[in-house]
């Protein structure tokens, strides 16, 4: 008899991703997919494209866009709405949630003549509190994973259909995406997929539900060869053309079938996302627990009783994510809604990719952080002009962490100091470049680092190819040697106390820290043109605390900032190390005084960093007491991605060494040349 098959693809690229990357994905994935399905009139399916990507295709690949329009005109394709720039809907304010959905729905109506009834939930991050807003946008049904249901005790065999849920009396239909189908299509032979659908029908299932990344039809590892060159797509179409299982639109199924029942779901995303959002040590413990349970009679209970964290824990796990998120929230709160450009910049900054990390998440991708800050910096410049915050020093709890950050704001530069974490400079915005020069990231220990350091081989697949989640990765010894971990945030004007300095120890963050200043709170005072930070802390040696005070003050000056330090300690013969970290659009094009960046340098007064842009130069001058040495090195991360493992140059670290005997005073300037500062 057969059952309906609800087939959908979700397609998204980070806003303003590299043009060559997006063009390749269109040519290898989206375009051939639509070309393959177009001749098969029986094949109905649903799609979700983020609005930015849809518009990009419209402009840059009109033939692909026209194929979609023809399919829409023939009633063979159903468009799902969502946030125009693909935000996690529960992570943005109500007005932006409604605004972004309305923007994409209007685009779909204008170009494809459809008023979307379905919504793609970004990364399937479920929070019932968003239901009323989504319902008010005309949405009737959403997609979540079957895991959302399994995690609260639903039985797998009961999930082949849709369910009703509600929030504040607003009704919503939920379709649970079948994980097995996600893992089977297109990685298994079509016969395997057909047999699985037969099994679903034999167990009383009402339909097969699939909605997954369109990119896996061509740009996931090995998929272009498998799907197109080796004929998987042709075999799939040939087999299902004569199958009793008919492909239907979600709208058709929702209209003609009653719900399977009622459900209330917890805050969650797909299972892997919950694992990735855990802190690294808990991630390892969770995987160990899962592996243990798989050897017991409780192996079938893992999805119900073993859970990771929620998506928003990424904002706790990664301070770099949190700063982007909180500055965007602040902008949204200050947005009066009467400036279309400002609203669009805020929407763009809300794109989800940069705010998390897993196989796909992008906080370790410098270009995604650069893009987010480009929008934030431009948006804040609009708001600051309106509020007359230029040429001013002020304080506010930007991070919502209970500490008030101090902002020094000039016409061309904005400095934000993190009072609660070492009084470090956490943001240095070059407004005319749209660049946060402090946009660095710490080399954090991730749970998968332990696995990456183990010797493993890729599993052999007999009936298809491996999914991203099943792939194994082997690291070269060179890459293994570059795995290092930081225990503090990579801000600038970070304070260290050490007994000796060594290039490799500093570069690998393996030096022994003797002070309690690097990641601890400071007190502060603000005057008209100056912020002064100070902390009465200690240097610790052999279990004994030696009273130590660090005082540092900052003033905005023409084309830069001046700094003045005073350190007093009752511990003698120790080194103080002042750490600065910078991030350029292209870190590989940066030199120090025209020489290689890495190494130990002498204690000259002037250090010049030149980026690939010859107009943009940074000068660091010390007067009076000068450093005896400087250590410069590249900050590289080893992180997991859909292609395997990425070795990424994140930024540049400059560390100035001073000899301290009971006390020391020094001052200097951080100056910018080129552009308008």
Spatial CA neighbour of 86 closest among 11, 190, 6: 11
Listing DSSP states for 260-306 in one string gives SEE----SB--HHHHHHTS-HHHHHHHHHHHHHHTTSTTGGGHHHH-
Distance CA 360, CA 122 (A): 13
Annotation says 244 is catalytic: no
Q: Are 529 and 393 in contact (CB under 8 A)?
A: yes
Distance CA 328, CA 240 (A): 47
Place of tokens 């009679």: 297
Q: Are 673 and 619 in contact (CB under 8 A)?
A: yes
Distance CA 384, CA 463 (A): 59
Place of tokens 């394709």: 77
CA distances from 181 to 104, 160, 467, 590, 656 (A): 28, 12, 12, 48, 56
- 177: Cβ contacts below 8 Å, ≥ 6 apart: 124, 143, 144, 145, 146, 209, 210, 211, 212
Annotation says 213 is catalytic: yes
Place of tokens 């080129």: 674
Between CA 92 and CA 102, with CA 96 as vertex, the angle to 5 degrees is: 130
Question: Which run of H or E residues covers position 314?
Answer: helix 314-317
Question: Which run of H or E residues covers position 414?
Answer: strand 413-418
Distance CA 168, CA 351 (A): 28
Q: Please tell me which residue in 166, 189, 213, 673 is annotated as part of the active site.
A: 213
Q: Please tell me which residue in 78, 96, 123, 353 is annotated as part of the active site.
A: 123
Catalytic residues, by residue number, are 123, 213
């Amino acid at each position: 008899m057969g059952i309906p098959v609800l087939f959908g693809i979700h397609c998204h690229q980070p806003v303003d991703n590299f043009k060559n990357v997006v063009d390749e994905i269109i040519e290898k994935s989206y375009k051939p997919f639509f070309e393959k399905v177009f001749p098969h009139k029986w094949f109905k399916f649903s799609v979700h494209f983020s609005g930015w990507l849809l518009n990009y295709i419209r402009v840059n690949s009109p033939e692909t866009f026209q194929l979609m329009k023809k399919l829409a005109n023939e009633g063979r394709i159903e468009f799902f709405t969502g946030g125009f720039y693909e935000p996690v809907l529960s992570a943005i304010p109500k007005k932006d949630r409604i605004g972004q959905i309305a923007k994409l729905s209007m685009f779909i109506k204008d170009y494809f003549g459809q008023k979307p009834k379905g919504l793609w939930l970004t990364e399937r991050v479920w929070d019932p509190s968003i239901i009323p807003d989504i319902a008010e946008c005309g949405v009737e049904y959403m997609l979540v994973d079957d895991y959302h249901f399994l995690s609260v005790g639903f039985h797998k065999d009961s999930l082949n259909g849709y369910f009703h849920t509600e929030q504040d009396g607003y009704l919503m239909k939920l379709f649970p995406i079948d994980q097995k189908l996600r893992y089977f299509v297109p990685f298994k032979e079509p016969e395997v997929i057909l047999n699985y659908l037969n099994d679903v029908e034999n167990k009383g299932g009402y339909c097969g539900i699939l909605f997954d990344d369109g990119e896996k039809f061509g740009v996931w590892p090995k998929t272009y060869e498998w799907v197109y060159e080796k004929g998987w797509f042709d075999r799939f179409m040939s087999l299902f053309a004569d199958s009793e299982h008919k492909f239907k639109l979600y709208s058709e199924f929702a209209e003609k079938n009653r719900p399977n029942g009622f459900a209330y779901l917890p805050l969650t995303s797909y299972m892997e996302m919950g694992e990735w959002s855990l802190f690294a040590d808990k991630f390892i413990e969770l995987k160990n627990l899962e592996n243990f349970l798989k050897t017991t009679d409780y192996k079938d209970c893992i999805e119900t009783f073993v859970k990771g964290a929620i998506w928003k824990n990424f904002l706790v796990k990664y301070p770099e994510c949190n700063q982007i998120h909180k500055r965007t929230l602040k902008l949204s709160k200050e947005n009066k809604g009467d400036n279309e450009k400002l609203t669009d910049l805020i929407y763009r900054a809300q794109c989800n990719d940069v705010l998390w990390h897993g196989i796909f998440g992008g906080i370790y991708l410098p270009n995604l952080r650069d893009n987010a800050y480009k929008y934030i910096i431009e948006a804040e410049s609009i708001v600051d002009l309106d509020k007359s915050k230029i040429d001013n020093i002020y304080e506010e709890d930007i991070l919502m962490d209970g500490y008030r950050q101090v902002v020094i704001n000039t016409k061309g530069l904005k400095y934000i100091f993190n009072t609660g974490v070492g009084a470090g400079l956490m943001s240095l915005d070059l407004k005319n470049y749209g660049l946060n020069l402090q946009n660095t990231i710490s080399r954090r220990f991730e749970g998968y680092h332990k696995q990456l350091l183990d010797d493993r081989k890729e599993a052999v697949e007999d009936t298809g190819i491996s999914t991203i989640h099943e792939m194994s990765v082997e690291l070269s010894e060179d890459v293994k040697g570059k795995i290092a971990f930081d225990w503090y945030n990579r801000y600038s004007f970070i304070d260290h106390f050490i007994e000796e300095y060594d290039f490799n120890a500093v570069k690998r963050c393996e030096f022994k820290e003797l002070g309690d200043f690097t990641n601890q709170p400071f007190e502060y005072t603000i005057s008209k043109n100056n912020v002064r930070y100070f902390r009465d802390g200690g240097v610790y040696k052999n279990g004994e605390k030696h009273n130590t005070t660090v005082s540092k003050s900052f003033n905005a000056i023409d084309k830069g900032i001046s700094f003045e330090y005073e350190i007093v300690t009752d511990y003698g013969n120790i080194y103080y190390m002042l750490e600065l970290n910078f991030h350029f659009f292209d870190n590989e094009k940066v030199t120090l005084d025209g020489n290689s960046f890495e190494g130990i340098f002498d204690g000259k007064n002037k250090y010049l960093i030149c980026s690939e842009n010859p107009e943009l130069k940074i000068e660091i001058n010390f007067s009076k007491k000068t450093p005896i040495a400087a250590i410069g090195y590249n900050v590289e991360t080893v992180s997991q991605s859909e292609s395997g493992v990425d070795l990424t140059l994140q930024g540049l670290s400059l560390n100035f060494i001073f000899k301290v005997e009971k006390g020391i005073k020094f001052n200097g300037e951080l100056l910018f040349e080129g552009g308008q500062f």
